[in-house]
Amino acid sequence: MTVERPVPAPYAWADALTTVGVTGTNGKTSTTHMIGAALAQEGPALTVGTVGYFLDGAPLDAPRTAQGFIASQRRLYEAGGRRSAVECTSQALAQGYARRWRFDVGVFTNLSDDHVESHGSWEHYLAAKAQLFVHLGPGRTAVLNAADPASDLLDAAIPPDVVRRWYAAPSRGPWTRTVDLALQGLELDLAGTHLRLQPSPVAEAFAGELEIAMIGAVFAENALAAALAALAAGVAPEAIRAGLRACAPVPGRFEVIAHDPCVVVDFAHTPDALARTLATARRLATGRVLLVLGAGGQRSVQKREPMGQVAGTHADLVWVTNDNPRNEDPHRIAAMIEAGLACVSRATWSTILDRGEALRTALDTARPGDVVVVAGKGHERTQDLGGEVVPWSDVQVIRELLGAHDPD
């Protein structure tokens, strides 16, 4: 198939806009918001992600449709802004998103086995992600994760006249190429994460360090991608540093609800994301790591047992529960997670399908120094039980159970 490029701006007013697109399995939302915060240091900026539309940090009332997207970009233009950061799902890219709106910078976070079933195969899933990059125009920029093997496949598919920028973090794995920005080390606490950068010309422009309010190594990796993307969009290094410092944690992404014991809500719903979330919890804990975990029904069946294995390896106590079972038997979903837990002997675990009761039990069990991780639903405000969608917020339920309405 011949790829037509560069993609023209769909409207005359849109020709003046610079759009950064972010795709990958995990980390899209956090990376997008960090890029948006960096862009906003030099004028009005739009952020489009899973949790909504934001113009200079203020939410926009726009539907999650093509019309809503265009309207939000027009609002940006009318406000005098010229840059936006946009989270790109594989489903949207497969439907031609990158052929209908011009992207100037493409960012790839990572690839793991989530949403594969909806695309038919792993190859089609990757091909959907690749749409963001193969349509970039000459001289535009692709920001790629050197520690993820899928980046090499993307690199081979991206037109040669597109600029490559590479980043890497040791937590993802080794890399064999020269990178523009790499993580050398980090320190984290409940206030955020401090990144020390490996020496490079780009790292020198950032004075060898970055700081973010998000907690964990995965967010450090996302910050590297965000910094390179903002640079490619023309933002000054000092403005990028300020933007990353100012970017508030994204709802449902290692969101701290209470401090002692520490209780966090995280959207982690793949084995890779769960392992990284639990690794962060382990670094923060002086006691045990407790986990409440489920898996969605009628999709991504292959990830359930590996998620159980991750839970059993990295947590001390685990409660298996419901997480949008939809029309699938919740006991069947739980049994697959239990099979993974049974493969390892580290964790003690039990199954409580009532998610509220599972949360209550975990909180009642927690002691000072423990970290309680509530995984899977993150920012979501509903629960799909047997096809009936009911109101549900992990954050709200936890605060009610703790008898408080705000974090400590």
pLDDT tens digits, one per residue of 120-142: 576 888 899 999 999 999 999 99
Closest residue by Cα to residue 13 from 69, 64, 82: 82
Q: What's at 62, amino acid-wise?
A: A
Structure tokens at 105: 């910078």
Q: Does 87 fall in a domain?
A: yes
- Phi/psi region, residue 249 (left: phi>0; alpha: psi -120 to 50; beta: rest), is beta
Same domain, 39 and 177: yes
Same domain, 239 and 266: no
Query: What is residue 66's predicted lDDT score, i.e. its pLDDT?
Result: 92
pLDDT tens digits, one per residue of 149-191: 999 999 999 999 999 999 999 999 999 899 999 999 999 999 9
Q: In angstroms, rounded to a whole number, what is the distance separating the alpha carbons of residues 69 and 48?
A: 8
Same domain, 237 and 260: no
Same domain, 172 and 43: yes
Where is the domain boundary, 196, 224, 246? 246
- Domain boundaries, position 345: 255-402
**What is the distance between the terminal CA atoms of the chain, rounded to a whole angstrom?**
56
Q: Does 70 fall in a domain?
A: yes
Q: What is the pTM of this model?
A: 0.91
Q: In angstroms, rounded to a whole number, what is the distance separating the alpha carbons of residues 318 and 347?
A: 7
What is the count of structural domains for the chain? 2
Same domain, 237 and 375: no
Q: In angstroms, rounded to a whole number, what is the distance separating the alpha carbons of residues 323 and 294?
A: 5
Q: Does 2 fall in a domain?
A: no
Same domain, 100 and 162: yes
The CATH number covering residue 59 comes to 3.40.1190.10
Q: Does 368 fall in a domain?
A: yes
Q: Does 5 fall in a domain?
A: no
Burial class (CB in 10 A: 0-12, 13-18, 19+), 316: middle
Same domain, 204 and 84: yes
Same domain, 214 and 279: no
Low-confidence residues of the chain: pLDDT under 50: 1, 119, 404-408
Same domain, 223 and 279: no
Q: Measured on CA atoms in the order 84, 64, 397, 369, is the torsion positive or negative?
A: negative
Same domain, 341 and 236: no
Q: In angstroms, rounded to a whole number, what is the distance separating the alpha carbons of residues 238 and 206?
A: 7
Q: Does 3 fall in a domain?
A: no
- Map tokens 């790292």 to a residue: 203
Query: What is residue 386's predicted lDDT score, i.e. its pLDDT?
Result: 92
Same domain, 318 and 395: yes
The CATH number covering residue 356 comes to 3.90.190.20
Query: What is residue 164's predicted lDDT score, i.e. its pLDDT?
Result: 98
Same domain, 171 and 288: no
Where is the domain boundary, 246, 278, 300? 246
Q: What angle do CA 256, 258, 263 make, to 5 degrees?
A: 65
Q: Which residues of 347-386 are buried (b: 16+ CB within 10 A; e: fewer)?
A: bebebbbebbebbbbbbeebeeebbbbbbbbbbbeebbbe
Q: In angstroms, rounded to a whole number, what is the distance separating the alpha carbons of residues 262 and 240?
A: 30
Query: What is residue 195's predicted lDDT score, i.e. its pLDDT?
Result: 98
Query: What is residue 5's predicted lDDT score, i.e. its pLDDT?
Result: 83
Where is the domain boundary, 182, 211, 246? 246
Q: Does 1 fall in a domain?
A: no
